[in-house]
């Protein structure tokens, strides 16, 4: 199994680079599972939006981890309640929306991996 984990995607430049290059990397390297940290992917360099998360999923990201900056774009509060592939930090209060831990299937479908997000 080949897993690709990308650390902080920061601002427009990082987001656009991942969108442009990730599909080719997945294809050329035979990547089975992609995990990115997206807590700073918004254009301001802090937070993440629903649109950014969906665009990342559309180019091959399987799960997005976050940290304390996840809450900097207020719209994410509602989205993270329902989007199971967007994880809040597990070490933050359980009263906050979203999940800090989940189990995901790889692209191979026969294998699954657990991912935790620590802020």
Res 90: pLDDT:
85
Domain 3-116, CATH: 3.60.21.10
* 35 is known as an active-site residue: no
Q: Which pLDDT tens digit goes with each residue over 77-91?
A: 999 999 999 999 988
**Which residue stretches of the chain have pLDDT < 50?**
none
Domain boundaries, the chain: 3-116
Catalytic residue among 69, 71, 87, 100, which? 69
Contacts of 98 (CB under 8 A, 6+ apart): 80, 81, 83, 86, 87, 88
């Amino acid at each position: 199994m080949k897993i690709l984990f990308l650390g902080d995607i920061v601002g427009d430049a990082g987001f656009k680079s991942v969108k442009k290059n990730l599909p080719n990397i997945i294809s050329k390297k035979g990547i089975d599972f992609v995990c990115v940290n997206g807590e700073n992917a918004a254009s301001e360099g802090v937070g993440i939006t629903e649109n950014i998360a969906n665009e990342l999923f559309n180019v091959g990201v399987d799960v997005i981890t976050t940290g304390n900056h996840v809450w900097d774009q207020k719209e994410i509060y509602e989205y993270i309640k329902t989007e199971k592939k967007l994880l809040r930090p597990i070490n933050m209060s359980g009263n906050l929306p979203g999940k800090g831990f989940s189990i995901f299937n790889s692209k191979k479908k026969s294998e699954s991996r657990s991912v935790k997000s620590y802020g």
